[in-house]
Amino acid sequence: MFWAGGDPAQTIAELTSLGIRSGQLGIPGDLPLSCAPQWRDALRAANFRIHTVFAAYKGESYADVPTVQRTVGFIPPATRAEREQRTLGVSDFAAVIGAPGIATHIGFVPESQSDPDYIAVRDMVRRVCDHAASHNQTFALETGQEPARVLMAFLNDVARPNLGINFDPANMILYGTGDPIEALGILAPKVITVHCKDGDWPPAGVAGALGKEKALGAGSVGIPRFLAKLREVGYRGPLSIEREASDPARRMVDIRSAIALIADLKA
């Protein structure tokens, strides 16, 4: 999982130097979407495949739980219309580069199906699904911010065949949402793609605190049991490593060791 923003050819060269041949491309909220043809050409030249294009939005912050609730995804009413247009634009970007799917964090979905925010977001997800379907794309919701049963009820209520999940086991831990392996058992039929990411639970007794993201294998997910569970539920899609460490050198070291860990476990 990597981000657009830098020179496309150089970004892809960094990934192929690690032996990676495919991945998920994140689009920062302020990136002009007119750079799609440059990405298409660079991907083609390197024979590099994009499984998913991720949309992020201007003004989002993942500082703590209340900030996520206030700023992330489709939930904040003030930015809803603007973010809907942006998501449709990201779907068009994905069509230009030939990616089969888009994804985003929609934010904290309210549990009550009669909540006006729930209804507005459900209808918005339907419109995004329908636009994505016009490009033959799937639309995946990133997991983590709500328990598996709430997310499953939401997916069933949206009722669009191209809607699914990008399952991130670490997010379930970082947000204190529930055991990710158990959640994967429930959500498996809807999982389109996954993030191989690790992390530790939030500190006890600190209201609204998030857990801490860790290098793959160093957190509380239990990567061997995660991969075993993916196999058990019949998942055969890509394993996308996500590492959010802010220091780029650290990030590359951790991605290298994550690749080695996954190769070991697969063997």
Task: Give the binding site for Mg ion (CB under 5 A).
Answer: 168, 195, 242
SS3 call for 188 = helix
Q: Using CB atoms, what's the residue nearest to Mg ion?
A: 168
Of residues 168 and 198, the one with the C-beta less far from Mg ion: 168
| Phi, psi torsion values for 203, nearest 5 degrees | -65, 140
Q: How far is the CB of 195 from Mg ion (least distance, A)?
A: 4
Of residues 11 and 171, the one with the C-beta less far from Mg ion: 171
Of residues 132 and 221, the one with the C-beta less far from Mg ion: 221
Of residues 60 and 242, the one with the C-beta less far from Mg ion: 242
Q: How far is the CB of 144 from Mg ion (least distance, A)?
A: 7
Of residues 195 and 229, the one with the C-beta less far from Mg ion: 195
Of residues 40 and 243, the one with the C-beta less far from Mg ion: 243
Q: How far is the CB of 38 from Mg ion (least distance, A)?
A: 25
* Backbone φ/ψ region at 206: left (φ over 0), alpha (ψ -120 to 50), beta: beta
Q: List the Cα angle 84/189/108 in 5-degree steps.
A: 40
Q: How far is the CB of 142 from Mg ion (least distance, A)?
A: 5
What is the rounded (10 degree) CA torsion for 13, 102, 258, 187? -170
Name the strands in the sheet holding 2-3, side by side, starting at the edge strand that comes first in the sequence: 2-3, 22-27, 49-55, 101-104, 138-142, 163-167, 191-196, 239-241
Q: How far is the CB of 107 from Mg ion (least distance, A)?
A: 14
* 205: number of Cβ within 10 Å: 6
- What span, in angstroms and rounded, lies between the C-alpha atoms of 80 and 119? 13
| Phi, psi torsion values for 53, nearest 5 degrees | -105, 120
Q: How far is the CB of 104 from Mg ion (least distance, A)?
A: 11
